[in-house]
Structure 1
Amino acid sequence: MLLADVVATSEAVTATRSRKAKIEALAAVLSRAAPAEVEPATAFLAGEPRQGRIGTGWATLAKLRPTPAPSATLTVEDVDHALDVLRGTTGTGSTQRRQQLLADLFGQATATEQDFLIRLLIGELRQGALEGVMVDAIAAAANVPAEAVRRAFMLSGRLPVTAAAALHGGRTALATFHLELGRPLRPMLASPADTLDDALSELGDVSVEYKLDGARIQVHRNGDDVHVFTRKLREVTGSVPELVDLVRGLPCESVVLDGETLALDDNGRPRPFQETMSRFGAASAHELLLHPYFFDVLHLNGEDLLGEPLHTRLDALLRVAEEHRVPGLLRPNPTAAAALLDDSLAAGHEGVMVKALDSIYAAGRRGRAWQKVKPVHTLDLVVLGAEWGHGRRTGFLSNLHLGARDPAGGPPIMVGKTFKGLTDELLEWQTRELRSRAVSRDSHTVYVRPELVVEIELDGVQVSPRYPGGVALRFARVLRYRPDKDPAEADSIDQVKAMLPRSG
């Protein structure tokens, strides 16, 4: 298969808002892929090579662009092999060798293919929201149920591998995927609830627990072998020895735990979120002790619990880690649930989670079975660019352009701007980070790759023709950046519009 076929499909998917049209285009090209082409083609279409980031930035790639090839000859396997070689090129003299390898690759590409490769390699093509569309496209190409593909992807965490299994072996191959100790699963996500009463009414038989202002962790143990992963499935085991020691001491032989960890001050209140996150890259393992709070167990002593209802998983959690269970109540009445919400806020946390006790663990999905109740309106949005500041902010990128996730898999949709809530320290960091992600600029604004997620506090939203999303944020201010979240986990334009005042 020619790379040009993948590029044409990518352009067609970008050009339409129709989910059906996207799925049909993706399924068509995947169904034509040879067995060795399925994994790299899937990875390219999803916007991230199988090799991950190869350590080459936009400036380097832009300088290396040779005269484009007159016609398309590059194959998907040619590009995949070149990226394998690039990934393995290290050591003395590797910079020059890598530049030559890139020049050779780009010299075989047409102008359109060169543009595609640049965006692929710097991460600009990576629209995580496309994952749901890709799952449906893989199912269509392989003529298997989407739920079978979704389950296999949940367990493998690797879309290209899942696609290869579906297209080569169908439902039988997809059914072979299972939870594997040491390989992280994508975390189950929650949807926002309007009020606590609404969540209790909708879900019925529930667990209500603190919503902690910490960092999501997933912990795997097999005997004495322990691995700790972040929300993004990045392993941080070496940075958190206190968590490793604690999990090794639990009364079990094997376990997979889902929870949060956070740093506490001397009064037992949570430290700022950024301080907790700093531990995952800390030079000293004991700079700041982390405390774990678990709220789910997905495997215990050889038994997978993913398909079991939450009440069964919570019983297992109490058996293995009762002392480290996040504070909460089972089947509380509305008065007790409201009191728990007040207690959580008084302790410095964000609110409460309301979870249906009959729900199974839907990894990687944001459904209604888990709902978060917070007294403050917040949105996780993607930074699209920033305007240069004035006055004391001269020389700093200040006014942020904010986008909501497009559930159809397109680029983030702009819904507003804000420069409020930025400390001097955050301005310096923000300017440095945004400049390193710049893709274009004019006299006032630097436009960036849509990679950074920022948590925004706001009074609400209103209808507005000013922005492409048709809505605008009211009195928005920056709470914090969310390095633990990908753009795929940002709030969607539908979630933003759901905050519009109800008429009548």
Structure 2
Amino acid sequence: MSRPMRFTDLVNFFERMAHRTVANHKPSERTISKKEQLEALMDNYLEMEGTNNLYPLILLVCPDLDKQGRIYRIKHAKLAQLLSEGMLIQNRKDRDSARLHSYQTQEQEGQGNFSNVCFDILSKTPGRCALDGQGKKTIKDVNEFLDALGNAAKRKGGQGEEEQKALFKENMGMYTAKEWKWLCRIILREMKVGISEAVTLKALHPDATEFYGCNNNNMIKVCEELKDRNQRKSSSIVLDKAFVPMMCQRPKDMKDVEKMCAKGSIYIEKKMDGERLQIHKNGNAYKLYTRKSNDYTSLYKWIIDQIERKRLIKADKCILDAEIVGWWPGDEELHARYLPPTSLKTIGLMLGGNFKDANESGNMSISDISELSGERKEKCRLCLSVFDIVQVEDNSLQKQQLEKRLQTLDEVCKFEKHLFERTTQIVGNTVEDAFQAIYDIGAEEEGVVLKVPSSEYQVGGRNGAGWMKMKPDYITGANDTFDVVIMGGNYGQGAVRSGRVMQYIVGVIEKNKIAENPPKIFRSFCKVGTGLERQKHWE
């Protein structure tokens, strides 16, 4: 009988992946992709455990795939405290505790990488953890420890924190320094081994990506249903069930835009600045889900009533992809306009909605529409901007080309301006057309989306799926500029960024009636961290 896979085996895999560079491998080894090595690990795990369920392994290999599972409520500062408790360090001023709490700023071995600092401390202080090579904990043991850590986080008051401290004290001596290094990364969800969600899903099964999206990121179900890579299994969007919508690729540079435009004619859509919403209609019943699968049916009940009363959807069953925005019709003094996305919940609640289906609560935030008061505020409405259809009656349209889906959308829906709109769309043929659309966007529009007419609807798809999002800040000269003052900064992480300020807090001068020279009051405005070359940061 084979032994269960030990956590040390997985740690050795992580170490190989983290240090896997061309310089470190022989030519014959370079052709073995991380996906192939991950497949081998998965096969080895199944054989050693005598099971056909990969879920316990995937929880550790790619924690980000566990969207609906463990929540530890642990960030770097709290983890530093828990590790100090586990090492029986009572004083935060202790050298090792201070190293953990100041992992970004203090010059030390592993600076900027919390897990590396933890490893350096434990490896140089024998007796605090298991000796190297003596790690005996299995994958099952690690998952039980992490489950207990997540369950403790659900406790109210200080009970949960005390339970987490007790767990660290109990387990500190059972794992090696290198194992603790990777436990830290798993808890913080900072794996840094180059194994993404996409790679993990592809290694699991050829159909895992689509199945994962269609089942609302339910990894447990994916592992239960897809157990044999050689047995293909189709999946499709299901009515009244939330799914991960198709996403937009963000261009890395203008070459990506040129590449898309070179394919021929493209659809250019104005992207409204609202909230992504999928509308499921099943007879007279409706379900509204956000991009993160929150059920907002009861919150946006007003617009459902309007659609049903005016019979704006002709089909008995369908699923639409749309953006919901706020709308104010204007008056003699203030012009009509779409409202910022922060006003949506306010308007929904004001129009009689609630959070019954969403299992959350919310309050009306008058500041979202502060310039509108009294009768003006009461005129605020919700508006759906529809841009795709993925099912009509019992027929899935996922595999149909976008051009055909849009024809079906026009046949199924009766659009009404400022209530149930068809997203504004033009046909472009060149990169210049795409750029011009960016320069022409209105204040209520976030940017434009370029779409290939032949693209299919890929659940959860993004890169290479046929949709590309462009915003003014992606293009030099298309965005606004501001004169600001640097007020502070945040240190970066990692081998290159650690010990250096990589994100700047900027502010503006507060104007006073009495001019002051120099000015005395500054107000923080935002944080910026991109746009500068590395050498500029160093300077």
Which residue in the other structure is 2:82 paired with? 64
Q: 2:235 aligns with which of 163, 177, 194?
A: 177
Matching of residues 169-208 of structure 1 within 5 Å = 169-172=228-231, 174-180=232-238, 181-192=240-251, 194=254, 198=258, 201-208=261-268
1:84 CA displacement: 3.5
- Give the match for residue 448 of structure 1: none
Whether 2:40 is the aligned partner of 1:28: answer: yes
Q: Letter of the 1:419 partner, please give it.
A: Y
Amino acid at match of 2:174: Q
Instruction: Report if aligned partners of 1:42, 1:163 keep a CA contact under 8 Å in 2.
Output: no
> Could you tell me how far apart the structure 2 residues matched to 1:109 and 1:228 are?
43
Structure 1 partner of 2:504: 419
The Cα shift of 1:175 comes to: 0.9
Pairing partner for 1:44 from 23, 37, 60: 60
Q: What SS class does the counterpart of residue 209 from structure 1 fall into? A: strand
Which of 124, 133, 142 aligns to 1:79? It is 142
- In structure 2, the residue matched to 1:284 is 363
The residue number in structure 2 matching 1:438 is none
Aligned twin of 1:486: none
**Higher strand proportion, which one?**
1
Alpha-carbon distance in 1 for matches of 2:178, 2:58: 19
Structure 2 unaligned blocks of 5 or more: 23-30, 87-127, 348-357, 369-380, 477-483, 511-521
Q: Tell me: CA distance 1:8–1:246, structure 2 relative to 1, closer, same or farther (3 Å).
A: farther
Question: What TM-score do the two structures reach when normalised by structure 1?
Answer: 0.65
Shift of 1:411: 11
- The alpha-carbon deviation at position 30 of structure 1 amounts to 1.0
Alignment equivalent of 1:320, drawn from 396, 403, 413: 413
Distance 2:57 2:214 in 1: 21
The question of whether the paired residues in 2 share the 8 Å contact of 1:40 and 1:49 is answered with no
Looking at structure 2, the residues matched to 162 and 20 of structure 1 have their Cα atoms a distance apart, in angstroms, of 26
CA distance in 2: counterparts of 1:126 and 1:321, whole angstroms = 49
The secondary structure found in structure 1 opposite 2:18 is helix
Task: Measure, in 2, the Cα distance between the counterparts of 1:5 and 1:334.
Answer: 52
Determine if contact 2:486/2:506 at 8 Å carries over to the other structure: no
* Greater alpha carbon shift after TM alignment, 263-272 vs 364-373: 263-272
2 CA distance for matches of 1:416 and 1:392? Answer: 15
Q: What are the equivalent positions in structure 2 for 1:257-296 lying under 5 Å apart?
A: 257-264=320-327, 266=330, 267-272=335-340, 283-284=362-363, 290-296=382-388
Aligned mates of 2:505, 2:161 — CA distance in 1: 41
Encode CA deviations 1:286-345: one digit per residue, 9 max, x unaligned: 866653322112223322211111122212322136333443346467799679827952
Match in the other structure for 2:204: 138
Contact 1:36 1:77 in 2 (8 A): no
Deviations along 1:432-482, one digit per CA (max 9) or x if unpaired, are xxxxxxxxxxxxxxxxxxxxxx796x5xx8xx6739xxxx99xxxxxxxxx
In structure 2, the residue matched to 1:502 is none
Contact 2:486 2:504 in 1 (8 A): no
Residue aligning to 2:106:
none
Give the letter for the 1:58 counterpart: H
How far apart, in 2, do the equivalents of 1:415 and 1:316 lie?
Answer: 54
Equivalents in 2 of 1:132, 1:341: separation in Å? Answer: 32
Q: CA 1:262–1:123 in structure 2 vs 1: closer, same or farther (change >3 Å)?
A: farther
| C-alpha separation in 1, matches of 2:172 and 2:212 | 32
User: Deviations 1:221-249 (Å, cap 9, x if unpaired)?
Assistant: 4452514223x445555654445656766
Q: What is the alpha-carbon distance in structure 2 between the residues aligned to residue 2 and residue 303 of structure 1? A: 47
Residue identity in the other structure for 1:64: L
Partners of 1:37 and 1:124 in 2: CA distance? 24
Indicate which of 11, 14, 31 corresponds to 2:15.
11
Relative to structure 1, the CA distance from residue 270 to residue 5 in structure 2 (aligned partners, 3 Å threshold; closer, same or farther) is farther
Give me the whole-angstrom Cα distance separating, in 1, the residues matched to 2:63 and 2:525.
27
SS in 2 for 1:190: coil
For 2:211, the aligned partner's letter is A
1:43 deviation in Å? 2.3
8 Å contact 2:401–2:456 — kept in the other structure?
Answer: yes
Matching of residue 226 in structure 1 with residue 292 in structure 2:
no
Distance 1:417 1:98 in 2: 32
Larger radius of gyration between Structure 1 and Structure 2:
2
> 2:208 corresponds to which residue?
149
DSSP-derived class of the 1:6 partner: helix
Which has the higher mean CA deviation after the structures are superposed, 292-301 or 19-28? 19-28
SS in 2 for 1:59: helix
Q: CA RMSD in A?
A: 4.8
SS in 2 for 1:55: coil
Q: Does the alignment pair 1:307 with 2:399?
A: yes
* Partner in structure 2 of residue 369 of structure 1: 466
Aligned pair in 2 of structure 1 residues 191, 176: CA closer, same or farther (>3 Å)? Answer: same
- Pick closer, same or farther for the CA change 1:423–1:25 going to 2, 3 Å: farther
**In structure 1, C-alpha distance between the alignment counterparts of 2:202 and 2:44, rounded to whole Å:** 16
Change (3 A) 1:176 1:352: closer
Structure-2 change in CA distance of 1:271 and 1:63 (3 Å): same
Preserved CA contact (<8 Å) 1:69 1:111: yes
Query: Following the alignment from structure 2 to structure 1, what is the Cα–Cα distance between the partners of residues 523 and 298?
Result: 30
Structure 1 position 149, deviation (Å): 3.4
**2:535 counterpart SS class:** coil
Correspondence for 1:352 among 445, 448, 469: 448
Aligned equivalents of 1:262, 1:113: Cα separation in 2: 48
Contact 2:319–2:390 (Cα < 8 Å) also in 1 = yes
Separation in 2, partners of 1:338, 1:176: 36
Superposition deviation, residue 130 in structure 1: 0.9
Letter of the structure 1 residue corresponding to residue 463 of structure 2 = R
How far apart are the structure 1 equivalents of 2:317 and 2:20?
Answer: 47
The corresponding residue for 2:535 is 466
SS in 2 for 1:185: coil
Provide closer, same or farther for how the CA distance between residues 63 and 347 of structure 1 changes in structure 2, counting only shifts above 3 A. closer
Q: Which residue of 2 aligns with 1:2?
A: 6
- Is 1:214 the counterpart of 2:274 in the alignment? yes
Aligned-partner residue type, residue 31 of structure 1: D
CA distance in 2, matches of 1:87, 1:219: 34
1:162–1:218: structure 2 CA closer, same or farther, 3 Å change rule?
same
Q: Distance in 1 between matches of 2:276 and 2:195?
A: 20
How many residues in Structure 1 have an aligned counterpart in Structure 2?
A: 413
Equivalent position SS for 1:64: helix
